[in-house]
């Protein structure tokens, strides 16, 4: 470790020398030039990277709200005798590829550079120094910035935030210690970088130096700003206008549909009891949705392999909520375990005589692809075709939409999502799980469930009893065999331990891990050794690691 550190410190010193020379060369070419009277800056990066804080530090006051926004935000100010325009583009999730990001987010990234005409002098790529910069993050970041075209990189500066966490460590030492991925990124940006301590707003020199580096970037680009290909921007704007038009039409249709149902329901009292089943892929927000509906923390946010049932009194109704276990987002129904499929079938029988609605949970802050629609339809089809007439799509993470309507999100996401909504009779609702105090969103959801019941002649959903009976019989047989297996395993273990009585445990154990890709070999190795020894990325070679565990010397080979 000490040798590695010495080498990193040496490379850091070399990097500092190169950066100083690079800056001196640029400044010498700029020697007679006055500083620019105006600077236009775009802030980009992943969510929670510190973009809003950076914008506030640059302008010297609280101009940007620290909450997430789905739209670009533009602010102005006078700083160091310059008129500064700062655009904050919405952030992406740090582990989600550009293909996984919603269409509206990608459109906003393209729009961001057009909101400070004729174009930004610099794009500041915001990265925190207090978290590891991995290969996946580099790929994600590159994918999102590449939306603007290759030329954007010559106008980009890496801006490191949370600089206070470095203490006495230089930013160069941090870059060298983080390895190839961060070094690649810094080099892709022409070795332009700056570190900012957002906690120390009174230190104006760090902002003054940042503005100087932006001017140097302009000088490196022959005194030119960045300009996006107009054709790309024009195509996106036309597509967006068409989506907005379709969104308005959808809103009109939904209002008319709702008005028709409510007129048929006039004079009827609301139901005193509602039975709801929550379904969807893992981490879609089912537990959070259940907690929002019941108005308290009833569902544990960790993954469960069994259905969970909870009750509560909400808006003068007795509510029963069943959360079914989620499936993996990219795994077809054929690839899902049998136990999961059994739980999906069981879920609708846990609120007899059956649920008034199945809420199909989908996140709005990620892209909804055709493969996801196929996966989702496959799992819901286990319950039979009739389930679709009792299904409502419930969008979670509504806070990420900000001022964007759910209809605009639907129209921008493409055919896959629209086909799903058509299948559900265009019944949908959006939920902001962050705003539990807004009871109107739950009240509206319960009203939509009652409208769904009205559309089904005031009937609940009931699964074909034959399908359910068959599954329960199969499950009983499996549970019986499982008990027999446990007995055999216990007997086998007891026999072996009796033969070993009096012998000491081995002082050394050598273990080889084998299995298919992404099965969890690296994680298993790390669990055995009790620390992060195996890198979670795929390797073409065997990896050997050692450790001391429970008074044994352990060697683990990952094939």
- Contacts from 101-104 at CB under 8 Å and sequence distance 24+? 101/144, 101/366, 101/367, 102/364, 102/365, 102/366, 102/367, 102/409, 102/412, 102/413, 103/367, 103/412, 103/413, 103/414, 104/70, 104/404, 104/408, 104/409, 104/412
When comparing pLDDT for 436 and 107, which is higher? Answer: 107
Averaged pLDDT for residues 228-257: 94
Average pLDDT for 52-59:
94
CA distance 512 to 557: 5
Q: What is the mean pLDDT of the chain?
A: 93
Task: Determine the average pLDDT of the residues in 370-390.
Answer: 96
Is a pLDDT exceeding 90 seen at residue 438?
no
Position 475 scores a pLDDT of: 92
CA pseudo-torsion sign 394, 400, 406, 408:
negative
Tell me if the domain spanning 2-228 has CATH number 3.40.50.880: no
What is the DSSP secondary structure assignment for residue 518, as one 8-state letter? T
- Quote the longest CA-to-CA distance of the chain: 89
Cα–Cα distance, 311 to 298 (Å, whole number): 9
Secondary structure (3-state) at 458: coil
Domain with CATH 3.40.50.300 in the chain: 2-228, 233-463
Q: What is the mean predicted confidence (pLDDT) over 247-253? A: 95
| pLDDT over threshold 90, residue 126 | yes
pLDDT at 199: 74
Interval 288-295 mean pLDDT: 95
Average pLDDT over every residue of 245-272: 91
507/548 Cα distance (integer angstroms): 10
Shortest CA distance to 270 belongs to which of 319, 311, 312, 316?
316
CB 394 within 8 A of CB 424: no
Give, to the nearest 10 degrees, the angle between helix 415-423 and helix 406-413: 120
Task: Give CA separation, 171 vs 25, 166, 208, 237, 511, in Å.
Answer: 21, 8, 18, 40, 40
Q: Tokens 């019986």 belong to which residue?
A: 480
Selected residue with higher pLDDT from 67 and 191: 191
Instruction: Determine the Cα–Cα distance for residues 12 and 175; give it in Å rounded to an integer.
Output: 8
Residue 32 or 545, more confident: 545
Whether the predicted pLDDT of 108 surpasses 90: yes
Q: What is the pLDDT of residue 484?
A: 96
**CA 133 – CA 182 distance, rounded (Å):** 6
Residue 32 has pLDDT above 80, yes or no: no
CATH 3.40.50.300 is right for the domain spanning 233-463 = yes
427 close to 258: Cβ distance less than 8 angstroms: no
Yes or no: say if 129 and 171 are a contact pair by the CB < 8 Å rule.
Answer: yes
Residue among 470, 472, 431, 473 nearest 448 (CA)? 431
Helix (H) / strand (E) element for 244: namely: helix 230-265
Interstrand relation of 38-45 and 122-128 (parallel, antiparallel or unpaired): parallel
How big, in percent rounded to 5, are the helix, strand and coil portions of the chain?
Answer: 45, 20, 35
Amino acid 6: pLDDT:
86
Say whether pLDDT at 200 is over 80.
no
Work out the pLDDT band at 110, boundaries 50, 70, 90: very high
Please give the pLDDT value at position 403: 84
Predicted confidence (pLDDT) at residue 30 exceeds the cutoff of 90? no
Q: Report whether 517 contacts 538 (CB < 8 A).
A: yes
pLDDT at 4 over 90: no
Convert the pLDDT of each residue in 486-516 to its tens digit. Answer: 999 999 999 999 888 888 889 999 999 999 9
Name the CA radius of gyration of the chain, rounded.
Answer: 29
Tokens of 374: 């196929």
Report how far apart, in Å, the C-alpha atoms of 45 and of each of 21, 53, 88, 93, 94 are: 28, 12, 9, 9, 8
CB atoms within 10 A of CB 204: 13
Q: What is the mean pLDDT of residues 254-263?
A: 92
Q: What is the pLDDT of residues 306-365, one digit of tens each?
A: 999 999 999 999 999 999 999 999 999 999 999 999 999 999 999 999 999 999 999 999
Measured distance CA(335)–CA(443) in Å, rounded: 37
Tell me whether residue 217 is exposed, middle or buried, using C-beta atoms within 10 angstroms of its C-beta: 0 to 12, 13 to 18, 19 or more.
buried
pLDDT above 90: residue 167: no
Percent of the chain whose pLDDT exceeds 70: 100
CA–CA gap between residue 512 and residue 525 (Å, rounded) = 9
Three-state secondary structure call for residue 339 = helix
Q: Which range is most confident: 297-306, 415-424, 497-506?
A: 415-424
Contact yes or no for 348/354 (Cβ under 8 A) = yes
Sign of the CA dihedral 333, 339, 345, 347? negative
| pLDDT at residue 57, as a whole number | 93
* CB 450 within 8 Å of CB 271: yes
Q: How confident is the model at residue 227 (pLDDT cuts 50, 70, 90)?
A: very high
Q: What is the pLDDT of residue 212?
A: 94
Any bridge partners for residue 79, and if so which? Answer: 82
Residue 108 makes CB contacts below 8 A (sequence gap 6+) with: 70, 71, 72, 89, 90
pLDDT at 1 over 80: no
User: Is the bond preceding 353 in cis, omega lying within 30 degrees of 0?
Assistant: yes
Sign of the CA dihedral 182, 185, 187, 190?
negative
């Amino acid at each position: 470790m000490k040798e590695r550190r010495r080498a990193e410190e040496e490379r850091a010193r070399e990097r500092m020398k190169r950066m100083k020379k690079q800056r001196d060369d640029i400044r010498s070419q700029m020697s007679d030039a006055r500083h620019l009277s105006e600077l236009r800056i775009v802030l980009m990066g992943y969510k929670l990277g510190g973009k809003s804080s950076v914008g506030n530090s640059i302008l010297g006051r609280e101009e940007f709200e620290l909450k997430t926004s789905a739209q670009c935000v533009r602010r102005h100010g006078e700083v160091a005798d310059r008129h500064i325009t700062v655009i904050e583009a919405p952030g992406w999730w740090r582990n989600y590829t550009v293909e996984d990001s919603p269409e509206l987010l990608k459109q906003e990234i393209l729009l961001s550079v057009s909101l400070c005409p004729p174009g930004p002098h610099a794009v500041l790529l915001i990265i925190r120094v207090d978290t590891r910069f991995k290969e996946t993050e580099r790929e994600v970041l590159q994918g999102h910035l590449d939306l603007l075209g290759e030329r954007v990189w010559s106008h980009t500066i890496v801006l490191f935030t949370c600089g206070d966490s470095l203490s006495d460590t230089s930013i160069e030492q941090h870059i060298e210690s983080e390895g190839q991925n961060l070094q690649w990124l810094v080099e892709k940006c022409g070795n332009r970088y700056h570190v900012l301590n957002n906690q120390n707003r009174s230190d104006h020199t760090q902002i003054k130096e940042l503005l100087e580096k932006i001017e140097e970037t302009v000088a490196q680009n022959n005194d030119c700003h960045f300009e996006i290909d107009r054709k790309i921007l024009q195509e996106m704007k036309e597509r967006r206008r068409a989506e907005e038009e379709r969104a308005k039409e959808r809103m009109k249709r939904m209002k008319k549909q709702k008005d028709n149902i409510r007129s048929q329901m006039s004079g009827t009292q609301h139901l005193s009891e509602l039975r709801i089943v929550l379904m969807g892929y893992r981490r879609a927000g089912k537990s959070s949705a259940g907690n929002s509906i019941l108005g308290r923390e009833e569902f544990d946010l960790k993954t469960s392999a069994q259905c969970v049932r909870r009750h509560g009194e909400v808006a003068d109704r007795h509510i029963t909520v069943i959360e079914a276990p989620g499936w993996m987002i990219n795994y077809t129904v054929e690839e899902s375990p049998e136990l999961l499929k059994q739980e999906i079938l069981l879920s609708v029988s846990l609120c007899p005589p059956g649920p008034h609605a199945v809420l199909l949970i989908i996140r709005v802050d990620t892209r909804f692809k055709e493969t996801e629609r196929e996966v989702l339809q496959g799992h819901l089809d286990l319950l039979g075709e009739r389930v679709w007439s009792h299904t409502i799509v419930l969008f979670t993470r509504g806070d990420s939409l900000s001022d964007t309507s759910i209809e605009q999100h639907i129209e921008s996401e493409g055919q896959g999502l629209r086909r799903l909504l058509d299948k559900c009779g265009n019944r949908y609702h959006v939920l902001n799980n962050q705003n539990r105090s807004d009871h109107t969103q739950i009240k509206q959801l319960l009203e939509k469930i009652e409208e769904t019941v009205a559309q089904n002649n005031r009937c609940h959903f009931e699964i074909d009893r034959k399908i359910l009976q068959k599954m329960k019989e199969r499950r009983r047989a499996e549970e019986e065999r499982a008990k027999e297996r446990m007995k055999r395993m216990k007997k086998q273990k007891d026999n072996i331990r009796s033969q070993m009585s009096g012998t000491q445990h081995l002082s050394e154990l050598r273990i080889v891990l084998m299995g298919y890709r992404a099965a969890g070999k690296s994680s298993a190795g790390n669990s055995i050794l009790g620390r992060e020894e195996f890198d979670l990325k795929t390797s073409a070679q065997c990896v050997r690691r050692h450790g001391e565990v429970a008074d044994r010397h352990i060697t683990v080979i990952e094939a």
